[in-house]
Amino acid sequence: MSQPQPPRNVAVILAGGVGARMGLGLPKQLLKIAGRPILEHTIAAFQAHPQVDEILVMMAPGHLDAARAIVRGGGYDKVVDIVEGAETRNATTLRALDRLGPDECHVLFHDAVRPLVTPRIIGDCFEALQTHAAVDVAIPTADTIIEVGPDNTIRDIPPRAALRRGQTPQAFRSSVIREAYARAGRDPHFTATDDCTVVLRYLPEVPIWVVPGDERNMKVTEPIDLYLADKLFQLTGRDRPEVSTEERLAALDGRTLVVFGGSYGIGGDIADLARAHGADVHVFSRSATNTHVERRADIAAAAEQVLEKTGRVDYVVNTAGVLPRGPLLEASEETVYSATEVNYLAPVFIAQQFYPLLAQTQGSLLLFTSSSYTRGRGGYSLYSSAKAAVVNLTQALADEWAAEGVRVNCLNPERTATPMRTRAFGEEPPATLLDSEAVARCSLDILVSGQTGHIVDVRKDDPFAAVVDQD
């Protein structure tokens, strides 16, 4: 006798709002942060989660075509439908339940304008639904909450220890949320601002489990939230994409990879690992080929040489860089120009010269930044500012090139054992540094993944960074 199939896991993205408080005449979920519409960031978070089977987008009336374009352009194949939202949040939930059909499923309702939802939160919600019929997400409040009466005076100050700030997703077994709304529909005075409130009021016998949220899981509501969310995307490295050995082999075998700065260190390890995966690798560097990445003519010559030999370019990586140290006032004009040209102008030239070739193959460009991009540090002004510029360049190019299917990402490795670092800092305890081979493997995984516009951190405590020889 066959075992019953487990309920499917569905993420419903609530994008029905019109963003009146933004005052921009465009639904806030379509505004861009970190190079992509907010809605796309949210869809991508659920698309990437292994426990999500289906995604249903409830979109603001009049903007369904924009949502369809996002789904089509991003290849988000878990999206099963895009449905017009209703006038209220509760009516939109009912419309989503109608679309999902009568079969039992585990459903997460998530605000489209919370694009920084974490994989941990999504997974915890699905896990909680194994033992609970209703689940909310919340975080402790650091502020004192006051209750104000009609006369605008304080009526009560509840004890803060018992209070939480609600977030989304809110998750349910579909039969439970359906029954709660059925009972609510018989109440002529029914009002609610979220789905857990409906369960709490009309199915009080059903306990609602609370999953810990995250401070980063903010809701973009006011104009200032756009700025904050954009900075959080910039300062919060994304999770490294999960790419199996088979996927990496399939994506690299027979493909053409160009590596600038690939004679040694991270670039050299990227080249070696890619060759082991069957890629046709072409390395350019100052020491090996007399290629100066800060010279447009040298970049153009490299592109022409590769095209003549292979007829195509699928992937491009730039690891070339210089690390000048010392106060800015002591930096010579030569140092200023060298640091700016190698660390920033080189990525610009590489992007310009190789874009036409990458557009033909819908390929991928990978740039490198440093943790110093998040905050300028004394003694590293030239390096930090250039690396911050590379991050912004990555996000801008991902936006500009998305329609052609060209992906652009940026890797932010923690302190890594490379010859450039040794020259700058001398010998350091090996246990405190990342292995460059680990960074190389992460680099290839980002190159062959479908993501774009991401700034991906690689840290010493990353389990993927600790195992480079198990494939």
> How far does Cα 59 stand from its chain's mean position?
21
Considering the domain architecture, whether residues 282 and 423 belong to the same structural domain is answered as yes
Residues 6+ apart with CB under 8 A from 23: 223
Rounded CA separation 373/457 (Å): 12
pLDDT for 469 equals 32
Considering the domain architecture, whether residues 215 and 181 belong to the same structural domain is answered as yes
Inform me whether the pLDDT recorded for 24 exceeds 80.
no
Within a domain: residue 78? yes
This model's pTM is above 0.75:
no
Considering the domain architecture, whether residues 22 and 113 belong to the same structural domain is answered as yes
Within a domain: residue 239? no
Q: Are 70 and 39 in contact (CB under 8 A)?
A: yes
Within a domain: residue 228? no
Within a domain: residue 362? yes
Which has the higher per-residue pLDDT, 259 or 229?
259
Given the structure tokens 């009049």, which residue do they identify?
A: 62
Within a domain: residue 236? no
pLDDT tens digit sequence for 289-344: 999 999 999 999 999 999 999 999 999 999 998 888 899 999 999 999 999 999 99
Considering the domain architecture, whether residues 317 and 285 belong to the same structural domain is answered as yes
Give the range of the structural domain holding residue 98, as residue numbers without chain letter: 8-222
Within a domain: residue 238? no
Q: Are 253 and 423 in contact (CB under 8 A)?
A: no
pLDDT for 434 equals 64
pLDDT for 66 equals 95
Rounded CA separation 277/271 (Å): 10
Considering the domain architecture, whether residues 200 and 349 belong to the same structural domain is answered as no
Within a domain: residue 325? yes
pLDDT for 459 equals 67
The model's confidence at residue 466, banded by pLDDT at 50, 70 and 90, is: very low
Inform me whether the pLDDT recorded for 430 exceeds 60.
no
Q: Are 360 and 346 in contact (CB under 8 A)?
A: no
Considering the domain architecture, whether residues 177 and 254 belong to the same structural domain is answered as no
pLDDT tens digit sequence for 152-180: 999 999 998 889 999 999 999 999 999 99
pLDDT for 316 equals 98
Which has the higher per-residue pLDDT, 176 or 374?
176
Helices (H) and strands (E) in the chain, counts: 16, 17
Considering the domain architecture, whether residues 142 and 273 belong to the same structural domain is answered as no
pLDDT for 420 equals 57
Which has the higher per-residue pLDDT, 130 or 419?
130
Which has the higher per-residue pLDDT, 391 or 458?
391
Rounded CA separation 268/274 (Å): 10
Q: What percent of the chain has pLDDT over 70?
A: 88
Considering the domain architecture, whether residues 264 and 358 belong to the same structural domain is answered as yes
Cβ neighbours, 10 Å, residue 185: 12
Report the CATH number that the domain containing residue 316 is assigned in CATH. 3.40.50.720
- pLDDT mean across residues, the chain: 88
Angle at 26 between CA 23 and CA 29, to 5 degrees: 105
| Residue of 14, 32, 16 whose CA lies nearest to 24 | 32
Rounded CA separation 337/158 (Å): 60
Report the CATH number that the domain containing residue 126 is assigned in CATH. 3.90.550.10
Structure tokens at 122: 């999504």
Which has the higher per-residue pLDDT, 251 or 248?
251
Q: Are 29 and 219 in contact (CB under 8 A)?
A: no
Q: What percent of the chain has pLDDT over 90?
A: 64
From 189, 222, 255, give the residue that closes a domain. Answer: 222
**For range 101-113, the mean pLDDT:** 96
Which has the higher per-residue pLDDT, 354 or 420?
354
Q: Give the chain's domain count.
A: 2
Least confident of 53-57, 395-399, 466-470: 466-470
Residues for the chain: how many in total? Answer: 471
Inform me whether the pLDDT recorded for 369 exceeds 50.
yes
Inform me whether the pLDDT recorded for 58 exceeds 60.
yes
Rounded CA separation 136/164 (Å): 11
DSSP structural state of residue 5 = P
Considering the domain architecture, whether residues 168 and 264 belong to the same structural domain is answered as no
Within a domain: residue 1? no
Inform me whether the pLDDT recorded for 467 exceeds 50.
no
Considering the domain architecture, whether residues 317 and 438 belong to the same structural domain is answered as yes
Rounded CA separation 429/432 (Å): 6
Rounded CA separation 268/403 (Å): 32
pLDDT for 249 equals 81
Considering the domain architecture, whether residues 254 and 293 belong to the same structural domain is answered as yes
Considering the domain architecture, whether residues 187 and 254 belong to the same structural domain is answered as no
Q: Are 283 and 254 in contact (CB under 8 A)?
A: no
